[in-house]
Amino acid sequence: MTDDVTPAQTLDCVGLYCPEPLFQTRESIDAIEVGEVLEVYADDPAAQEDLTRFAKRAGHEVVAVDNDDGLLQILIRRLK
């Protein structure tokens, strides 16, 4: 995906459905330091929209989104 980004933490939400990936992402982003990246894996069809919307509203940066045949990998940088 993005070779120059090393995640501080990886969150596996595969098999979980809304709203659980969102709740777990929110908790995990709060557990890392400002400037660090959270890597999230999910297969919920709503996860891409939910997590990117959450990140933007919370003031974080969506570094990359990769959808590999329904398996999402989302990289979110904590900005505040």
Q: Which of the residues 18, 32, 62, 65 is marked catalytic? A: 18
What backbone torsions phi and psi does residue 35 show, to the nearest 5 degrees?
Answer: 95, -20
Catalytic-residue membership of 18? yes
**What are the residue numbers of the active site?**
18
